[in-house]
Structure formats: structure tokens, C-alpha cells
Amino acid sequence: MKLQTATRLGLYAVLELARDPSQTLSAGDLAKRFGVSTHSLAKVLRTLSAAGFVQGGRGASGGYRFTGNRRRITLMDIVALFEPAPGSHAPEPGEDTAIGAALQRVLTEIDEIAEATLRSVSLETMLRLRS
């Protein structure tokens, strides 16, 4: 499954901050850790902050900390902030043919399995897997 760069960075940032909710890390700290630009990370952190998963970030060196519930937030909650809703896509040529509809059923099945997987893994479970 291919995730957009912003989605991966969102997952990295949330998991890194959720690892220790008492720690405060700046966009620069996180960017350095993941080898990306501070600008890319800052944009992702603003989205996470607007969703209530992290808090902080006043000024260029302002730090962020995790403010969510590790047991309740799933990977899908983060992915949904950056990716189109599962199964949603612009109509494509050929979709209204019998072959197009059959192909769409298979693609929907794949989307449903991916969504179920992402919804079933909480941040708490992820952090336990990595230790």
C-alpha cells in the first residue's frame, strides 16, 4: 500500500510524540529525526494539531506534544487526515462498463481490507510492536 509522504510523516510524528506524551519536540527536532525538511514537518504538524492529536508549536522553535488517547486513536484516524476517504475516487473512463464494474468490486475489496487493518491498529498497539 502506497501512502503519500504527508501521511507517512503524520504517522511518524504522532507515533514519536505518543511514545512519551510528556516530551515536547519541535518540527525541527522531528524533521531531523526522519531526515525531511522542517517545512514539510511543520505543515503536517499543523494538520495534526487542528485534529487535536498534538498541541503546541507557537513560533518557529515551538514544541509539540501528544494530546490524544493512545488506546483510542488508530492508524486510520491519522491516515484519514491526509488521504482521500477509502473507496472515494473520481469516476474514471470505462467504470460504467461490465468489466469496469467488476474491476471496481475487486478494488473496493482491497480498500475495505486495508481500511479494516488500519482501523484495527491503535497507537498503543503500534508502540508495543516496535519495542
Partner 1 sequence: MVDIRPAQATDLKAISALDARLTGSDKPQYWQEMLAPDRHFLVAETAKGGLAGFIAGEVRAWEFGQPAAGWVFAIQVDPKTRLKGVGSALFEALAMRFKQQGVTSVRTLVDRKDHLILSFFRAQGMVAGPSLQLDKELP
Contact map string, positions 72 to 91, toward partner 1, x by CB under 8 A = --x-----------------
For residues 57 and 86, which CB has a smaller minimum distance to partner 1 in the complex?
A: 86
Beta carbon of residue 89, minimum distance to partner 1 (angstroms, whole number): 20
Let me know if 35 is exposed, middle or buried by CB neighbors in 10 A (0-12, 13-18, 19+). exposed
For residues 77 and 83, which CB has a smaller minimum distance to partner 1 in the complex?
A: 77
For residues 27 and 73, which CB has a smaller minimum distance to partner 1 in the complex?
A: 73
Residues 6+ away with beta carbon under 8 Å from 18: 66, 68, 70, 73, 123, 127
113 in contact with partner 1 (CB under 8 A): yes
Bridge partners (DSSP) of residue 122 are: 74
Beta carbon of residue 125, minimum distance to partner 1 (angstroms, whole number): 5
Rounded Cα gap, residues 119 and 83, in angstroms: 14
Let me know if 44 is exposed, middle or buried by CB neighbors in 10 A (0-12, 13-18, 19+). buried
Q: Summarize as ranges the residues that interact with partner 1 (CB under 8 A).
A: 74, 112-113, 116-117, 119-122, 124-125, 128
